[in-house]
């Protein structure tokens, strides 16, 4: 299997059977604990007359199941392999749950323009703990991680709250011109994950009336990722960080713990074998 090569070329790969049943149960617990105790960053990304699309961010420090899953499931080693890094840091955790019958689409977007980091050696891992049909799975535009950056907008009402209007290109009409884009997407079972670059264009449909779609999206920083302070509030925000960390340096800060280093793998402490 050549997932590193596929990841470098497409900016997205699916890894099947990445977790043991116990690890899947731990991820499910992390999401359920988060839903039972939302943080001040939580938001509803669907309208009042739709099903709930709930998001929350940055909870690993207060939810033991979240931290345990992040530290023990071996995914940081996978992040190291995919990004070709010597060292992997956690950037943040992001829970995205669509309750049954939620029509709200996650619109096409790239993640990096919402963030306070820059660089190429990064990966987000989209980890569903419920079966996901092809119709409601994450879709990704292969090769879009090579750029350009597109204007980030709010999901519900399309506001440009980050980069100033006109400063970045507008999104192409991906759904309207499918022949121009190679769109990837996989039907998934719990244990399967989609790994994608923070610049890869991605979107997801709503879910039908019988399916709950609980997802944990974990973001990892590899070797060339640096702090990129913004004059606006990023999503998620890291209040006060700009006073502690200059621009252009590695995210060497307790908020972004090192989870894996390559020499660990040489000593036999890395991830597990994959078929
Ligand atoms: O789960 C979704 O609907 C979208 C996921 C996403 O945008 C992300 O994980 O960055």
Measured CA to CA, the distance from residue 255 to residue 252 in angstroms comes to 8
Protein residue closest via CA to atom 8 of ligand 1: 217
Q: Which atom of ligand 1 is nearest to the CA of 204?
A: 3
Q: What are phi and psi of 184, to 5 degrees?
A: -100, 150
Per-residue HEC secondary structure of 83-97 comes to HCCCEEEEEEEEEEE
Ligand 1 center–CA 268 separation, angstroms: 33
**Taking all residues of the chain, what is their mean pLDDT, rounded to a whole number?**
94
Confidence (pLDDT) at 269: 45
What is the spatial distance between Cα 203 and Cα 26, in angstroms, rounded to a whole number?
Answer: 26
Q: Is the CB of 215 under 6 A from ligand 1?
A: yes
The pTM is what? 0.94
Number of the ligand 1 atom closest to the C-alpha atom of 98: 3
Residue to substitute in 44, 109, 202, 216 for testing ligand 1 pocket (most ligand atoms within 8 angstroms of CB):
202
Can you tell me the distance from the alpha carbon of 18 to that of 273, in angstroms, rounded to the nearest whole number? Answer: 10
189-248 pLDDT tens trace: 999 999 999 999 999 999 999 989 999 999 999 999 999 999 999 999 999 999 999 999
Q: Output 18 or 265, whichever has higher pLDDT.
A: 18
**Which CA distances in Å does 221 have to 95, 102, 109, 120, 185?**
18, 31, 19, 9, 23
CA of 94 to the centre of ligand 1 (A): 9
Give yes or no for residue 272 having a pLDDT over 50. no
Decide: 124 in ligand 1 pocket, CB within 6 A. Answer: yes
Report how far ligand 1's centroid is from the alpha carbon of 106 (Å): 7
Instruction: Tell me how far the alpha carbon of residue 125 lies from the centroid of ligand 1, in angstroms.
Output: 10
For residue 162, pLDDT beyond 70: yes
Q: What is residue 275's predicted lDDT score, i.e. its pLDDT?
A: 30
Cβ(96) – ligand 1 distance below 6 Å:
yes
């Amino acid at each position: 299997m050549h997932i590193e090569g596929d990841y470098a070329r497409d900016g997205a790969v699916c890894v099947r059977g990445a977790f043991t049943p116990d690890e899947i149960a731990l991820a499910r617990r992390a999401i359920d604990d988060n839903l039972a105790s939302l943080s001040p960053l939580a938001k509803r990304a669907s309208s009042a007359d739709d099903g709930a699309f709930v998001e929350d961010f940055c909870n690993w420090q207060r939810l033991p199941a979240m931290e345990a899953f992040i530290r023990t499931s071996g995914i940081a080693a996978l992040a190291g392999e995919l990004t070709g890094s010597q060292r992997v840091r956690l950037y943040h955790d992001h829970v995205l749950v669509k309750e049954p019958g939620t029509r709200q689409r996650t619109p096409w977007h790239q993640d990096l323009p919402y963030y306070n980091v820059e660089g190429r050696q990064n990966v987000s891992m989209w980890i569903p703990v419920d079966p996901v049909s092809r119709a409601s799975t994450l879709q990704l535009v292969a090769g879009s991680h090579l750029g350009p950056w597109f204007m980030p907008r709010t999901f519900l009402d399309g506001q440009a709250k980050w980069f100033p209007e006109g400063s970045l290109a507008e999104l192409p009409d991906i759904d309207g011109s499918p022949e121009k884009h190679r769109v990837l997407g996989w039907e998934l079972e719990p244990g399967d994950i989609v790994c994608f670059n923070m610049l890869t264009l991605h979107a997801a449909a709503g879910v039908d009336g019988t399916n709950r779609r609980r997802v944990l999206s974990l973001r990892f920083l590899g070797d060339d990722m640096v702090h990129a302070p913004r004059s606006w509030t990023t999503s998620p925000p890291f209040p006060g960080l700009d006073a502690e960390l200059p621009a252009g340096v590695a995210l060497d800060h307790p908020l972004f713990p090192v989870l894996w280093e390559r020499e660990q793998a040489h000593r036999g402490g890395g991830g597990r074998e994959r078929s």
